[in-house]
Amino acid sequence: MVERIHLSPPHMTGEELALVKEAFESNWVTPLGPHVDAFEAEMCEYLGVKGALALSSGTAAVHLGLVLLGVGPGDPVICSTLTFAASVNPVVYLGAEPIFVDSDEETWNMSPEALERAIRWLHAQGRRPKAVIPVDLYGHSADYRRIREICDLWDIPVLEDAAEALGATYGDRRCGTLGEFGVLSFNGNKIITCGGGGMLVSDRADDLERGRFLSTQAREKVPWYEHRQVGYNYRLSNILAAIGRGQLKVIEDRVACRRRIFDRYVEGLGDLPGLSFMPEAPYGRSNRWLTVIQLGEESPVTPLELMKRLEERHVESRPAWKPMHLQPLYRGKAYFPHREGYSVSDRLFQRGLCLPSGSSLREDQQDLVIQIIREAMGA
């Protein structure tokens, strides 16, 4: 069989198996258990936060974070448009209204200029956003100094979607700690994985305790099953938490590895006219979860043509996220571009391509990717 090069496959260390075996031997194979408690405590220590709540997915963490912020039917929630649908769908679960804002050119993350225009537009209607959800895109933090200045001025809480950015930093703080709540994901393609799962983190310990209650079906503390409000079946299993604990031990190695992969791509492709890379702002460190290139108008191939060339050689790649304001599901929702008449995220979707970036990617595999791209671009 021909070896396939995947975009971002899981990368196990071997330590996970011993921890999973421990879970089996203790018969803690259901949601909750000692590995869940330990995973939460270890994540708190790594991030420097007071509390963490291990959940079944990053989507569940976004949903629960919005619930804890009091988001309800009809409430406007401002969202990054350049993201995966899981960042936005929980807004709709609650009957709230997503308002989309563009990226800026310096970071590809939420545009503070577009954010401010969106807030003023709502204010002119006598409405106030219930929350803002910036996404730390492809492992790079948004500009939280500017975003927090705007949100604090208008007294709007921030729910940081750091699902792609564990291990990245903004100044001396880790991604996930820059809003009232932070969201992490341990999906199979993330920088560390449980095979599935997510986490909601915060310094607001009392709110997280309420989240803990809601995430276990809102069961009241009485001998029988009693429920006075709607809850959710959102807790992480002890087995998956065991995998996560093994993975968390090597998070800094994984970040360093993906950054080296990015640097090798720059070395191998950086001289090609019409090809550029996702920038890294000076205020933080990207975890380079995915290496993303942008092909200019002068490129001899389009991203989809290049994707086809890579696929012919059994190499997986993926277009940049299709913006939410272009999705049929959200057609007609309010959208604020970076500048009037100029949408950065539209261009990034049309010209962006994600390259294989997994921390288990071998140098010979990466060399093949580089060779295919150079050939496709006539170099």
pLDDT score recorded for residue 78: 98
Give the count of domains, the chain: 2
The CATH number for 343's domain is 3.90.1150.10
Statement to judge: residues 45 and 132 lie in one domain = yes
Statement to judge: residues 343 and 332 lie in one domain = yes
Statement to judge: residues 175 and 282 lie in one domain = no
pLDDT score recorded for residue 379: 76
Spatial strand order in the sheet of 291-295: 275-277, 291-295, 352-355, 318-319
d(CA 145, CA 110): 12
Q: Is residue 2 part of a domain?
A: no
Domain boundary among 248, 283, 300: 248
User: Which contiguous run of DSSP H or E holds residue 182?
Assistant: strand 181-185
d(CA 124, CA 138): 34
Q: Is residue 80 part of a domain?
A: yes
Query: Considering only CA atoms, which of 186, 244, 202 is closest in space to residue 60?
Result: 186
Statement to judge: residues 275 and 194 lie in one domain = no
Statement to judge: residues 350 and 207 lie in one domain = no
pLDDT per residue as tens digits for the range 221-280? 999 999 999 999 999 999 999 999 999 999 999 999 999 999 999 999 999 999 999 999
pLDDT per residue as tens digits for the range 182-200? 999 999 999 999 999 999 9
Residues annotated catalytic, as ranges = 190
C-alpha angle with apex 255: 246 to 138, nearest 5 degrees? Answer: 110
Relative to beta strand 181-185, strand 198-202 is antiparallel
The CATH number for 56's domain is 3.40.640.10
Statement to judge: residues 255 and 222 lie in one domain = no
Statement to judge: residues 148 and 263 lie in one domain = no
Q: What is the pTM of this model?
A: 0.96
User: Which contiguous run of DSSP H or E holds residue 68?
Assistant: helix 58-68
pLDDT per residue as tens digits for the range 55-102? 999 999 999 999 999 999 999 999 999 999 999 999 999 999 999 999
Q: Give the amino acid at 214.
A: L
Q: Can you give the residue range of the structural domain that contains 192?
A: 15-248
